[in-house]
Chains A and B, each alone.
Chain A
Amino acid sequence: MRQYEVTFIVDPVLSSEEISSAAQNYIEHLKSEGSEIVHVDELGLRPLAYPIKKRTSGIYYCVEFQAPTGELINKLELALRRDERIVRFLTVALDKYGVKYNEDKRNGLIGKKRDKKDDAKHTEKPKAEKVIATAPLAATAVAAPTVEKPSVEEEE
């Protein structure tokens, strides 16, 4: 059993029923192929970073599933490719860390992790600012006595 993740973008011009039925269609498709749906994530309407098929936004869906063989991926991708309602799709095989990450994300643990990252960022930035802030002060304070010293070091 391997865990996969398929993300696809549905055309936003369709009615909401059509959109959900399109997504449901693929979920059923996966189930009928003998795979087990782990999680369906509706990321909702998002703006696209660049226009695709003259659309500037799309509805993102992310379906995580376990499949016994990789053969159904080809069938799924063929169906997605033929479907005009689907703007873009991407299938990814998840490694063990990816599986864990998605699990943690569902349980709300990743929020903390991300805070940690954010903290790291925030602590980094003030430090950098401090250095910048203190640099001119220190430079001005000790400018006179250190004038000679750096020049000597440069020469060396």
Chain B
Amino acid sequence: MASRDDIKFLSNPNIGGAKKKYCRFKKYGIKYIDYKDPDFLLQFVNEQGKILPRRLTGNSLKFQRKVSTAVKRARHLALMPYVTDLLK
């Protein structure tokens, strides 16, 4: 008979668990976000070109602010669209 300890491993406990989000800028030590690099900034907007919230990107508040100013600057310089569809 399977004891209580064996049953633990019958289901993978990692399946349902959500992956912990982290701030990539803090993790990789990125201090400056370039507004002239639209390919990088594309990760922080949705398909309509809207800036994604922190709860989805996992950015810390400090870097979320920097990301948002960078995206806004890129929009001003027509490197990124203000409004669009099917950006990705």
A→B interface (CB under 8 Å): 7, 9, 43, 46, 48-50, 52, 58, 60, 62, 88, 90, 92, 95, 97-98, 100-101, 105, 113-114, 116-117, 120-121, 128, 131, 134-135, 138-139, 142, 145-146, 149-150
Contacts and interface: CB of A to CB of B under 8 A. Distances in A.
A103 B13 CA distance: 47
Contacts of A48: 78
Contact of B80 (A49, A58, A117, A138): A49
B75 A149 contact: no
A116 B79 contact: no
B36 A50 contact: no
A92 to B, nearest CB: 7
Contacts of A146: 10-11
A7 B15 contact: no
Given A48-B78, A50-B78, A120-B24, A149 B30 contact: no
7 contacts: A9-B77, A46-B79, A50-B81, A95-B32, A116-B28, A121-B43, A149-B11
Chief secondary structure at chain B's binding surface: loop
B15 A138 contact: yes
Chief secondary structure at chain A's binding surface: helix
B85 to A, nearest CB: 13
B14 A131 contact: yes
B30 A117 contact: yes
B31 A7 contact: no
A100 B10 contact: no
Max chain A C-beta neighbours (<10 A), residue from B15, B24, B35, B36: B36
Contacts of B28: 113, 116-117, 120
9 tightest A-B contacts by CB?
Answer: A97-B31, A48-B78, A97-B32, A101-B32, A49-B81, A146-B11, A138-B12, A49-B78, A145-B10
Contact of B40 (A58, A98, A117): A117
A154 to B, nearest CB: 11
Contacts of A62: 36
Nearest to B39: A114
